[in-house]
Amino acid sequence: MSNTIICFGRKLEHFSSTSRSKLSCFNQSYRGLISTCFRFLVFRVNPFWVQLAYFIVLSLVGFGALKMSKPKSGSVSPKNIDLFFTSVSATTVSSMSTVEMEVFSNTQLIIITILMLVGGEVFTSMLGLLLGRFRFETPPSFDGDIVNSISNRGLQSDYSLTSKNIAQEVELGRITFSALANEKPINDLESNKNLTSDIKSLKYKATRCLGYLVFGYLLVVHAVGSSLVSMYVSLVSSARKTLKTKGIDIRTFSFFTVVSTFANCGFVPTNENMIVFKKNSGLLLLLIPQILIGNTLYPACLRALIWVLDKMTKKVEFSYILKNWKEMGYSHLLSSVHSCFLAATVFGLTLVQFILFCSMEWNSETMDGFSSYQKVVGSLFQVVNSRYAGESVVDLSTISSAILVLFVVMIKRK
């Protein structure tokens, strides 16, 4: 009996070790497969096709999720083409819809929110940083062509001249092999290899740091924004009553609206867009910054954030990003001068549009029922949205033709 138990124990131990070995091999193979796929995407496939495949797959997945989830009780289920159109519109943040938003259930609103989040420009740019960082995970290769490997550091001419002199000395018999081994150019090559490796390592760390920073930017803005909107709606009875009448959950509305506003999509869970909240000036003031920091002001805000973190932490990665913003390969990262000019342009054009809108629409039927304060906030919200997100607190059909032309011009200059 004891021999049987001992034999069984040995077999169990052998099986366990074999399983661990096979599992380890499987994990290595799995990681190798993922690594190979990443390398193929980064080095072999044109970025255009990667983005196209990303949005197509995302739209199809969104359509399937909307199709499987049921609409709001009492509502007619939308047609497949309408659901697919809504999925594509949310993924590409184009804010076009053939279905009334109040038809969608709470689950479907959450699905649309996710589509807008992962299809937004800031999120997709973060994925680009992830793929770009993968380029630096492969250590630099130094092949036989030494001249090419050091030409990037401006040493090609020096090395060529020195190598010619050495060759002449060898032909004349004035130099030995041992002397060749101790020549300074070889040491320069070694130090250059180390320097190039250090630069690549620093750039890899900076790219990784920038990716984490963009992710943190997304996370904080959405968390803070949705919390403030949720708090406002919960405290203000008129806004809370509007959502309760329409059967929209406060938390879903808050996160949906903040994601849509930040991504500049323009979707709102209500059929009337933001017109039902035209007198909730506090809510409009909370959403205006979301529109700007998710679009044109994003590069300026990102650079300002990196500058602040550089001053606070003194990390070399932040300093490298600020000084080598072109080499980072991130299109939203601009120089300090360009960022300042960009911010000045945004505020300048918004101010011009705000003045013109107020001067022509202040006493029109568009502003009927507004107080002076509500007119100011509503006008500011409308002019900012007309250039970016597309949300509205007024009926655009009642606006004068001159203002509509102004909106078109501002949209073209976006």
pLDDT in tens, 20-47: 555 555 555 556 566 666 565 656 767 7
Residue 13 neighbours by CB distance under 10 Å:
10
In the chain, domain spans: 8-131, 204-412
Residues 198-216 pLDDT 10s: 677 788 888 889 999 999 9
Q: Which helix (H) or strand (E) holds 48?
A: helix 47-68
Backbone Cα Rg of the chain:
30
Whether residue 118 is predicted with pLDDT greater than 70 in this model: the reply is yes
Handedness of CA 85, 90, 95, 98 (dihedral sign): positive
Q: Which of 85-94, 128-137, 321-330 has the highest mean pLDDT?
A: 85-94
- pLDDT-above-90 percentage for the chain: 48
User: Ramachandran region of residue 387, left (φ > 0), alpha (ψ -120 to 50) or beta?
Assistant: alpha
Whether residue 175 is predicted with pLDDT greater than 50 in this model: the reply is no
End-to-end Cα separation, the chain, in angstroms: 84
Q: What would the mean pLDDT of 252-276 be, rounded to a whole number? A: 93
For the ranges 4-8, 211-215, 366-370, the lowest mean pLDDT is seen at: 4-8
Q: What would the mean pLDDT of 303-315 be, rounded to a whole number? A: 93
Given a contact cutoff of 8 angstroms between Cβ atoms, the answer to whether 303 and 339 are in contact is yes
CATH topology of domain 8-131: Helix Hairpins (1.10.287)
Return the pLDDT at 5.
56
Kindly indicate the confidence band of residue 194, based on its pLDDT and cuts at 50, 70 and 90. Answer: low
Average pLDDT, the chain: 80
- Distance between CA atoms of residues 57 and 14, nearest Å: 44
Helix, strand, coil share (%) of the chain residues, nearest 5: 75, 0, 25
Return the pLDDT at 72.
87
- Distance between CA atoms of residues 242 and 274, nearest Å: 11
Q: What would the mean pLDDT of 392-405 be, rounded to a whole number? A: 87
- Distance between CA atoms of residues 357 and 284, nearest Å: 17
Q: Is 219 helix (H, G, I), strand (E, B) or coil?
A: helix
